Amino acid sequence: MTMKKTLLALLIASVAQASLAAPAPASVQTAIAPVREVDRIVAVVNKNVITWQELQGRVNEAIKQLESQKVTPPARDVLERQLLEQMITEEVQLQYAASGGLRIEDAAIDQAVANLAKQNKLSEAGLKAQLAKDGISMDRLRGDIRRELTISRLRDSEVASRVNVSDSEVEQVLKSAQSANRTEYHLASILVSVPERADAKQIDALSQKVHKALADLDAGQPFAKVSASYSDAPNAIKGGDMGWRPATSLPLEFVQMLEQLKPGAHTDVIRTQQGFFVFQLQDKRNGSAPMLVEQYHTRHILIRTNEAVSEADAKARIDQIRDRIMRGAKFADMAKLYSEDGSNAKGGDMGWVTLGDLVPDFEKAMVALPIGQLSQPVRTSFGWHLIEVEGKRNQDVSSDHEKMAVKQQIRSRKMEQAYADWVRQLRDSAFVEEHLDDK
């Protein structure tokens, strides 16, 4: 049975990592020692380490993923260096999350496992059996899911909650000639990151690296292979695929550049604050968005977690509030008294919200909630919530659709840039020693 891509994405480093068996008993090791390389440290990240076997697991899985996409993998030593940098970047984020008290509760892991089983039309027992055939333990799967969810929540708490789009920004785009362009572009990219405090020598070396990637493209090498060989972006092993992007979400100068390209062609090197980019136009189409959107009239109460309020304390407070509401207290009154959100003055009333406007954990609970029913406590990157849905509707937003779409596109672009900048600063501030070339 072939698992869906959703499962494969969560299992990066799992299949091959699991194939590196635990050390055999000493009596057996004596017989097989000549064919097994002793594990060693390939990077020190603050107080933690990344080992050779951990890296080889990622490399083996990346090769398997590229081959499944019919992409010839780059040389193994190239992949090792690319993936080691990704692992270092992940590690600094996980350490930052741990230092801030961000924890993924077991219930969230349980739900993610159940979702994976459902997506692959398996029972949880069937999923476990299928993983076992591939040499993957359930503990390993849960660990990978925990890592992915931790980084996702960290992104929401550190970046998403701070990104705002003003009405004036939206109006500026709507008044421009670009707003009339309904074209969407399927893009792929190669990124060679430039550290924030890079000196001239470093910048020159990185410039040479990206121009070597450009030369490989010009020589006819597949974009996906060159991306896996050179790109520092998290999507490098996926061929640098960025998905479909509407023209209104892109800078006007960049759209003008894309209009000069034919599908399959790539740009020259583009210098940005983040580093050096090369983009490929994979395809383009005329965008057509539906005019009907699903909306929910929602109230909520939020208790935030922070350095002064532990996870347990916040959960206890939200449980107490829920108990009072269940005993007859009005939701609006409790929101005014206790909610730590800007909607508290309105009794927690968020008005009509559209799917895609809120963080995924909140939306998932909101969509599943019957009208007028109080939710169980819901954990998001902001803290603990109680949710109540007062109404649902499919709204014709023909007149507002363009404005809504532009706002969402601007927000998405700003979030991507803000997250990339934040991760780069976090990586640059970490103590990192690489020992990949040590033997």
pLDDT digits 0-9 by tens, 110-125:
988 988 888 888 888 8
- Pick out the chain residues at pLDDT < 50: 1-36
Which positions ≥6 away from 11 have C-beta within 8 Å? 3, 61, 136, 141, 144
Q: How far lies 156's CA from each of 150, 279, 325, 410, in Å?
A: 10, 27, 29, 16
pLDDT given at position 439? 67
pLDDT at residue number 8? 36
Query: Tell me, what's the pLDDT at 400?
Result: 66
Of how many residues is the chain composed? Answer: 439
Q: Are 393 and 298 in contact (CB under 8 A)?
A: no
Sign of CA dihedral 178, 179, 181, 187: positive
pLDDT at residue 262, rounded to an integer: 93
d(CA 292, CA 228): 40
Sorted by where each starts, the structural domains of the chain and their CATH numbers stand as 5-23+38-158 (1.10.4030.10), 167-289+402-431 (3.10.50.40), 292-396 (3.10.50.40)
pLDDT tens digits for 273-314? 889 999 999 999 876 555 577 899 999 999 998 878 888 999
**Residue 327, helix vs strand vs coil:** coil
Candidates 301, 401, 400; CA nearest to 342 is 301
pLDDT of residue 177: 58
DSSP string, 257-301: HHTTPPTT-B---EE-SSEEEEEEEEEEEE----SEEEEEEEEEE
Note whether 325 and 363 are within 8 A (CB): no
Q: What is the structure's pLDDT at 179? A: 60
Contact criterion met (CB below 8 Å) for 187 and 270 = no
Q: Which residue has the tokens 């979702």?
A: 115
Whole-number pLDDT of residue 241: 92
3-class SS at 222?
coil
Contact in structure between 410 and 260 (CB atoms under 8 Å):
no
What's the pLDDT at 308? 83
Beta strands 270-271; 48-51: pairing state: unpaired
The Cα 112–Cα 142 span in angstroms is 9
Confidence at residue 223, expressed as pLDDT on a 0 to 100 scale? 95
Token representation of residue 100: 């801030």
